[in-house]
Chains A and B, each alone.
Chain A
C-alpha cells in the first residue's frame, strides 16, 4: 500500500512540477525575447532538463519521507513533507534559473538578452551547460539536505 501511495504522490507531484515549471519558464522567456529561435529553444529545453534533474534527485528524499512517515503512522506528515520538499525543489530550480544568468554574464561579455534575440547558439548552449552541471552538482546535496529534515530515530551506537 505504501509503495503504491509513494508512486501516486510522486506522479502527481511530478506532473504538477513539470506543468507549472514549463508554464512559468515559458512566460519568462517570452518576456525576454521577441521571437522563438533555435537559441531560445535550446535554453528552454536546458532549463526544463535541469529542473528535471533536481526533481529526480529530490524525489529520493520525498520517497524516503513518504515511506518513513507512513510506517510511523502519519500519512498527513507524509503529504506535508513531500509537498514541502517538492516546493523546495521548485523554488531552487527557479532560483537556479535566475542565478545562471548571473554566472553566464561572468563567463561571456556579450549582452545575453540581445544574443538570444540574435539566435546566438553559443551563448544559449553555454547557458544550458551551466544549468545542467549546476543541477547535477547541487541536486544530490539538495536531496541530502531534504533528508536531514526527516526525524529518523538515532541509533544507540
Chain B
C-alpha cells in the first residue's frame, strides 16, 4: 500500500510539473528564446509556486485516495483526486494571469519588453507577487476542494 502511495505520488508530481512546464513555457518562450536571467527567475518562481499548490493539496488528496482504495473503489478515488488536481492546476494558471494583471495595474511599462531586456525589477516584482498570491490563497483553495469533495 505504501509503495503504491510512493509510486502514485512520484507519477503525480512528475505529470503535474511537466504539464505546468509546458503550459508556462509558451508564455516565456514567446518573450525571448533562449531565456535571459530575469525571465528564468520568473519562470522558476512560477514552477515553484505551482509545486507549492500541489504539495498543499497532495497530502489531503492522498488521504481521500487511500480511503477509496480501502473501500475497493479505486476508480472513484482516482477520479476525485484528479478533479482536485485539475482545480489546483487551473488555480495556478489563474494566479499567473492575476500576477500579470496586478503588474498591468501597478506599472506602466510593457512587461514583455522589459522582461526581454532582462529587467530584474519587473521579474522580481512578478516573482514576489505570484508567490505571495500562491502562499496566501493555496490554503483556502485546499479547504474549498475538500469541502466540495465532502
Report whether A7 and B128 are in contact in the complex, using a CB–CB cutoff of 8 Å.
Answer: no
> Which one of A10, A18, A41 contacts B102 once the chains associate, using CB atoms below 8 Å?
A18
| A68 close to B (CB within 8 Å) | no
Q: Judge whether A3 and B144 touch: CB under 8 Å.
A: yes
> A residues within 8 A CB of B140?
3, 6-7, 10, 63
**A6 with B143: CB separation less than 8 A:** yes
With known contacts A19-B106, A23-B106, A52-B132, A7–B137 Cβ distance under 8 A: yes
A55–B105 Cα distance when bound, in Å, is 19
Say whether, besides A22-B125, A45-B128, A52-B131, A15 and B136 are in contact (CB < 8 Å). no
Question: Are B121 and A41 touching (Cβ within 8 A)?
Answer: yes
CB distance from B111 to the nearest CB of A (A): 13
- A56-B139 Cα distance, complex, nearest whole Å: 10
In this complex, the interface size class of chain B, counting residues with CB under 8 Å from chain A, is: 20 to 34
Determine whether the beta carbon of A19 is less than 8 Å from that of B102: yes
| Bound complex: CA A10 to CA B95 (Å) | 12
Asked if A33 is at the interface of the complex by the 8 Å CB criterion, the answer is no
CB distance from A7 to the nearest CB of B (A): 5
How far apart are B145's CB and chain A's nearest CB, in angstroms?
9
How far in angstroms is the closest Cβ of chain A from B66? Answer: 23
Docked CA distance A63–B105 (Å):
25
B139 / chain A contacts, CB cutoff of 8 Å: 60, 63
Most buried by B among A7, A18, A55: A18
B124 at the interface (CB under 8 A from A): yes
A157 at interface, CB cutoff 8 A: no
CA distance A49 to B132 in the complex (A): 8
B-contacting residues, A1-46, CB 8 Å = 3-4, 6-7, 10-11, 14-15, 18-19, 22-23, 36, 38, 41, 44-45
- Between-chain CB contacts (< 8 Å), 12 pairs: A7-B140, A7-B141, A14-B132, A14-B133, A15-B102, A18-B106, A18-B133, A19-B102, A19-B105, A22-B125, A48-B125, A48-B128
- Which residues of B are at the interface with A, using a C-beta cutoff of 8 A? 98, 101-102, 105-107, 120-121, 124-125, 128-129, 131-133, 135-137, 139-141, 143-144, 147
List 20 additional A-B contacts (Cβ < 8 Å) besides A4-B144, A18-B106, A52-B131.
A3-B143, A7-B140, A14-B137, A15-B105, A18-B129, A18-B132, A18-B133, A19-B102, A19-B105, A19-B106, A22-B106, A44-B124, A45-B121, A45-B128, A48-B128, A49-B128, A52-B128, A52-B135, A56-B132, A60-B139
Query: What is the interface of chain A, defined by CB distance below 8 A to chain B?
Result: 3-4, 6-7, 10-11, 14-15, 18-19, 22-23, 36, 38, 41, 44-45, 48-49, 52, 55-56, 59-60, 63
